[in-house]
Structure 1
Amino acid sequence: MLTDMQIAILGGDARQLEIIRKLTELDARLYLIGFEQLDPLVLGTSKEKIKELDFSKMDALILPVPGTSLEGELETIFSNEKVILTEQMLQQTPSHCTIYSGISNSYLNQISNNANRKLIQLFERDDVAIYNSIPTVEGTIMMAIQNTDITIHQSKVAVLGLGRVGMTVARVFSLLGAQVKVGARKSEHLARVTEMGLKPFHLENLHDEIKDIDICINTIPHPILNAGVIAKMPLDALIIDLASKPGGTDFRYAERRGTKALLAPGLPGIVAPKTAGRILANVLSQLLGDDFDKGKGKEK
């Protein structure tokens, strides 16, 4: 139980609703920032304006999955209010206060470090990333069906990257009957692709391997699909970029060439927000409970 723990939830999307439900069940006291349009109000919560929140009482801050923008702005789909998190706000929190975010960036890292507050990126955890790969691949299948005029079965699919998302995407598209090949750099990843019964190729050979594909699914958050690579693709190929913003695709060139390229980060929150929210809620409740049990939940 999280009785007497005071937590601020600062913006977010539909995934945050599952987090709110879970934490109120555990008897935490929640302060909701950027949820003016949320109705009815969940028992044990209160709506606040960020400038009126008493940060000195907060045991934890829960940010949206994308964290902040490079200007400190937080995503708030349940409010028209512009919510900005600053270093000064973090400095007002108790020293034990922990910040939870899905991912981070240079701004959030800097203000957390300057305020000497612990920042936990949930998507760096293997369990969260692997669980989230399930709704991610379902959303990818949906996008592939909606944006092509061929079946996935017998289509030629290239998956770039064999991380936690790439592995699930490659496996599921193969199970649907696609001819899947996977591009990677690490020898152990290429070996794993072979073990999975798929065709491996080194990313150094991407220009050659991309010439006959129907769908290219990128999971690498670096500029991998540049103009030179896209120019080698069939004109009617579909690019689905699952990497975090800004993705790994030259979208300007793809549009100019007439190749459809879709940036699709955060698919779990779009196609299955309840499931994605439950994944985050379960992990957060465990982490918050561990901190509380260790006596970090309140200042001594």
Structure 2
Amino acid sequence: MVEIAVLGGDLRTISLMNTLSSYANRIYTVGFNQKEVGVEVCERTLENLPYERLNAIILPVQGVGTDGTVPTLDGDPLKLDPSHIERTGEQCLFITGVLTPFLKANVPRKVISWMSREDVAIANSIPTAEGCLRLAIENTAHTIHSATVFILGYGRCGKTIADLFSGSGANVIVYTNEDGEIARAKQRGFVARSFLNITDDADEADVCINTVPSRVLTPELFQKMKSTCFILDISSAPGAFDPGVAKAFPQKILNVPGIPGKVAPKSAGEILGRATIKIFEKEFGHGT
């Protein structure tokens, strides 16, 4: 008998629960109702969950706030308290996207992060890349075909983004300080350069997409770029640029983390659901 509770979340969470319904015997939900989810769930509050029976508690992709705040689809957050967590049995897993300080400090159980899994990261790179392409099309006055597109970072997302833009006819230039990533980018046929050169090259870019979770988008870089360059930062908080500083420049500069949940929530939720079933199979060894 596998019983899980899903606390808060967004549109991805609905798709996640639909996928998990083929595995779990019972799904309790806090922050959603039966009509929203579409499969059989047991609606509860944080106070009346059967914590001692739960095999797993599933939290939102963005994790839990420093004060225990859990985001919900309707914008009315839940407040997870350490006293709730203490009521869980030792067998209870906690699954989330981001392992935030609150979870590190207050959960004496096994916590598993989706985003630390290679299968999730690679699968998520596809809707991420498609979302980047859509935003680039919507925020430029020219075609992507023949445009010069800078890709900052060549990890799992950077690779897929570079491939998709190249397939659309863009002239892709990859920037990274990792020798291995430079070699891989060149092997794929891309121009690959060190970050040390990016300010000198900045006026070449029509589109610049950053995947690096550090402040690599500097005022000096903005100063050198064309006024028409579209700059998209998909890195997680605190982002790759200072929003206050960016306002002083003429370019359209956006920070859009969590793209899969915004552009393809159904597919993103299915990715999380399949990964969660793999986690359950490994931890519990059985299903319905």
Into which bin does the TM-score normalised by the smaller protein fall? Answer: over 0.9
> What SS does structure 1 have at the residue aligned with 2:203?
coil
Matching residue within 68, 75, 81 for 1:72: 68
Output the CA distance in 2 between the equivalents of 1:44 and 1:18: 13
Map of 1:97 onto structure 2? 92
Q: Does 1:53 align with 2:26?
A: no
Output the CA distance in 1 between the equivalents of 2:64 and 2:143: 38
**Which TM-score applies when normalising by structure 2?**
0.94
Map of 2:106 onto structure 1? 111
Q: Does 1:220 align with 2:232?
A: no
Q: Does 1:192 align with 2:184?
A: yes
Once the two structures are TM-superposed, the CA of residue 57 in structure 1 deviates from its matched residue by 2.0
Do the aligned partners of 1:154 and 1:178 also contact (CA within 8 Å) in 2?
yes
Amino acid of the structure 2 residue aligned with 1:104: L
Q: Does 1:179 align with 2:171?
A: yes
1:2-40 deviations in Å (ceiling 9; x for gaps): xx211110111111112212222224211101114x516
Distance 1:41 1:175, change over 3 A: closer
Once the two structures are TM-superposed, the CA of residue 80 in structure 1 deviates from its matched residue by 5.0
Map of 2:3 onto structure 1? 6
Higher mean alpha-carbon deviation, 162-171 vs 269-278, is at 269-278
Matching residue within 159, 167, 170 for 2:159: 167
Map of 1:230 onto structure 2? 222
Once the two structures are TM-superposed, the CA of residue 41 in structure 1 deviates from its matched residue by 6.0
Q: Does 1:260 align with 2:252?
A: yes
Distance 1:216 1:223, change over 3 A: same
Higher mean alpha-carbon deviation, 257-266 vs 139-148, is at 257-266
1:108-147 deviations in Å (ceiling 9; x for gaps): 22222xxx21111111111111111111111111100100
Distance 1:43 1:168, change over 3 A: closer
Q: Does 1:130 align with 2:122?
A: yes
1:139-165 deviations in Å (ceiling 9; x for gaps): 111100100001101111100001100
**Which TM-score applies when normalising by structure 1?**
0.90
Amino acid of the structure 2 residue aligned with 1:256: A
Once the two structures are TM-superposed, the CA of residue 85 in structure 1 deviates from its matched residue by 2.1
Distance 1:18 1:155, change over 3 A: same
Matching residue within 15, 18, 29 for 2:12: 15
Question: Which structure 2 residue ranges, 5 or more long, are not aligned?
Answer: none
Do the aligned partners of 1:215 and 1:237 also contact (CA within 8 Å) in 2?
yes
Aligned-pair RMSD on alpha carbons? 1.8
Amino acid of the structure 2 residue aligned with 1:54: P
Question: Which structure 1 residue ranges, 5 or more long, are not aligned?
Answer: none
Distance 1:140 1:80, change over 3 A: closer
Do the aligned partners of 2:149 and 2:205 also contact (CA within 8 Å) in 1?
yes
Output the CA distance in 2 between the equivalents of 1:281 and 1:185: 34
Map of 2:79 onto structure 1? 84
Amino acid of the structure 1 residue aligned with 2:207: I
Distance 1:41 1:277, change over 3 A: closer
Output the CA distance in 1 between the equivalents of 2:63 and 2:96: 5
Once the two structures are TM-superposed, the CA of residue 218 in structure 1 deviates from its matched residue by 0.4
Q: Does 1:29 align with 2:26?
A: yes
Q: Does 1:247 align with 2:239?
A: yes
